[in-house]
Amino acid sequence: MDKEIAGMIVAVNDEGYLTNLEQWTKEIGEAIAGEENIAMTEQHWKVIEFLQHAHRNSEALSIRSLGKHGPVSIKEFYVLFPGGPLKKASRIAGIPKPASCV
């Protein structure tokens, strides 16, 4: 289905995740973060870039892998994206919900 985010029409699934990363822009990421009540900082953007890079390289995403290889610790990740950090961060990043998220 299509949804207007940040003044652009993008394809999303029934959970609100973009279905085409090519449609993602930083403005769309900001708008989705606003929907999640997250004020984006430089640390947030580092996590988003890490997730997009991992997705493009078909790497399996999990909180554990992000804590081991990502730009922030697991504790910081939960502080940056409270209440379902990997789901929220993935949605903001414009990538599908990771399989490790229920």
Query: DSSP state, 18?
Result: B
Given 31, 81, 101, 102, the catalytic residue = 101
Torsion of CA 40, 83, 3, 102, to 10 degrees: 140
Let me know if 22 is a catalytic residue.
no
Instruction: List all residues 6 or more positions away from 58 whose beta carbon is below 8 Å from its beta carbon.
Output: none
Taking each helix axis from N to C end, the angle separating 26-35 and 85-93, rounded to the nearest 10 degrees, works out to: 150
Give catalytic residues, as residue numbers. Answer: 101
